[in-house]
Amino acid sequence: MRVLHTADWHLGQHFLTGQERLTEQRAFLTWLLGAVQVHGVDALVVAGDVFDTTTPSHASQELYYNFLVQMQGTACRDIVVVGGNHDSPTLLNASRQLLRRLRIHVVGGVPADPAEQVVALAETSGRPALVVCAVPFLRDRDIRLAIAGETPDERQARVRQSIAAHYGALADGDAVRRLREQDVPVLATGHLYAAGGEPSEGAERDVHIGGLGSVGAPDFPAAFDYVALGHLHRPQVVGGQAHIRYSGSPVPLSFTEADDHQQVLLLDFKGAGAPEITALPVPVLRRLQRFHGTLDAVEASILAYDNAAFELVAWADVQVRSDEAPAEVQRRVQAVLKERAAHVQAPRGARHQRATDAPDVTAAAAGPLAFLHDLTVSEVFGRRVAGLPPERAAALTATFGELRQLLAEADPQAWGSDER
């Protein structure tokens, strides 16, 4: 059984000042179709965050459904899609019954019947070849209820235990045990933060309130031959366990991901046991490039930048440290950007910081210099509590997250995402 693991497409993402990414995302899906055909993929697994928001645009939904239709022209027999923290379970599940007729198995949120998370995939002969424990993003209502007076450490421990128990219950279920006894491999999905994982400098949002709920490699049952994870955008192995992996985002979604290696993972199962794993590099159409430093250094770097390896013009993050007047800094930066407009553009212009300014302790604790419109609601709140004692900050962040979740349940369109 040959399986392809991917995640974090974030279809419909709008970058910085509103630039759409559909051109790059469409190119990725076209490449993915070709990779499925070239490598003879039997099953495709998408581990969450199909869309960037809970209310995706019609264009991004059309891109998703067109891809699923085009996949019917390949030899791939099954597709498994689980919801991520950016996805609307209701939206993903709306077409579930219809898509099941096409052997596309969608689990947008935790179903009332846990058995619906167990999907048995068969060979062309009809013999079971892989069982998938299709676990979507676990929301707090799926795994725990708040307890008054609970400390942050107690909350973290209980959330972690609840997540582990969710996976344990699936692994111990009759269907999984019976198939595993027949030498059928077991793959589990997850959309969460695994302890030891390396986020992209805040590009990924907290998956559970207050940053709680991280699990470790030992929390996944030994019955799982492979764990296909989504949420962290940087490809990586969890806890030194080669069979527990994040595939990473196939399109770089922020400047912090510019130097990551975009990829999908090809898994070859030969009966029960860990698969052989091959990383397939994903072509990148647009470079996200940082130009940080003194005014002279930034000017020289922009003028020397070579975009020949990329099909689309690069987007630049420009930050200048200079004691020149702000107007002069902007004039000089815009002049070199204009000269190199066919190669690089800076959608939000240049950020300016005086070279002789004394360090701002509060700002340093909160994170790098950023404009308010560049931050999510959660990131703004995180900066507001950054100077508080850790226990106090964690408690406030947890309460803030619970409040946002209640508001999201009451009005998903207004509060169901964490957009800038």
pLDDT tens per residue across span 240-278: 999 999 999 999 999 988 888 999 999 999 999 999 999
pLDDT at 182 over 70: yes
Report the pLDDT value the prediction gives residue 408, as an integer from 0 to 100: 59
Q: How confident is the model at residue 415 (pLDDT cuts 50, 70, 90)?
A: low
| Beta pairing partners, 320 | 293, 352
Q: How far apart are CA 415 and CA 20, in angstroms?
A: 22
Which residues in 224-349 belong to E strands, given as ranges?
226-230, 236-238, 241-246, 263-268, 276-281, 288-294, 314-321, 344-345
Q: How far apart are CA 257 and CA 249, in angstroms?
A: 9
Report the pLDDT value the prediction gives residue 2, as an integer from 0 to 100: 97
Of 266 and 140, more confident? 266
For the entire predicted model, the pTM comes to: 0.83
Tokens of 101: 């007729």
CA trace torsion 156, 162, 163, 166 (10° rounding): 180
Q: How far apart are CA 335 and CA 340, in angstroms?
A: 9
- The proportion of the chain whose per-residue pLDDT surpasses 90, expressed as a percent, equals 65
| Beta pairing partners, 80 | 45, 105
What confidence tens digit (pLDDT) does each residue in 203-243 have? Answer: 555 554 444 457 889 999 999 999 999 999 999 999 999 99
Report the pLDDT value the prediction gives residue 402, as an integer from 0 to 100: 61
Report the pLDDT value the prediction gives residue 197, as an integer from 0 to 100: 59
- The proportion of the chain whose per-residue pLDDT surpasses 70, expressed as a percent, equals 83
pLDDT at 374 over 60: no
Residues 200/246, Cβ–Cβ less than 8 Å = no
Q: How far apart are CA 11 and CA 24, in angstroms?
A: 10
pLDDT at 131 over 70: yes
Tokens of 391: 């226990």
Report the pLDDT value the prediction gives residue 212, as an integer from 0 to 100: 45
Mean pLDDT, the chain, integer: 86
Q: How far apart are CA 289 and CA 90, in angstroms?
A: 37
Report the pLDDT value the prediction gives residue 367, as an integer from 0 to 100: 44
Residues 193/159, Cβ–Cβ less than 8 Å = no
For residue 61, give the amino acid letter: Q
Q: How confident is the model at residue 151 (pLDDT cuts 50, 70, 90)?
A: confident
Report the pLDDT value the prediction gives residue 309, as an integer from 0 to 100: 93
Report the pLDDT value the prediction gives residue 420, as an integer from 0 to 100: 46
The helix (H) or strand (E) run that includes residue 110 is none
**How many other C-beta atoms are found inside a 10 Å radius of the C-beta of residue 239?**
15
pLDDT at 124 over 90: no
Under 8 Å CB-to-CB from 319, ≥6 apart: which residues?
290, 291, 292, 293, 298, 350, 351, 352, 353, 369
What confidence tens digit (pLDDT) does each residue in 281-328 have? Answer: 999 999 999 999 999 999 999 999 999 999 999 999 999 999 889 999
Question: How does strand 241-246 pair with strand 14-15?
Answer: unpaired
What confidence tens digit (pLDDT) does each residue in 60-103 have? Answer: 999 999 999 999 999 999 999 999 999 999 999 999 999 999 99
Which residues in 161-275 belong to E strands, given as ranges?
186-191, 226-230, 236-238, 241-246, 263-268
Report the pLDDT value the prediction gives residue 258, as an integer from 0 to 100: 86
pLDDT at 369 over 60: no
The helix (H) or strand (E) run that includes residue 20 is strand 19-20
Under 8 Å CB-to-CB from 49, ≥6 apart: which residues?
7, 8, 9, 10, 84, 85, 86, 87, 191, 230, 231
Residues 131/176, Cβ–Cβ less than 8 Å = yes
What sign does the CA torsion over 370, 353, 198, 79 have?
Answer: positive
Report the pLDDT value the prediction gives residue 391, as an integer from 0 to 100: 62
Of 392 and 178, more confident? 178
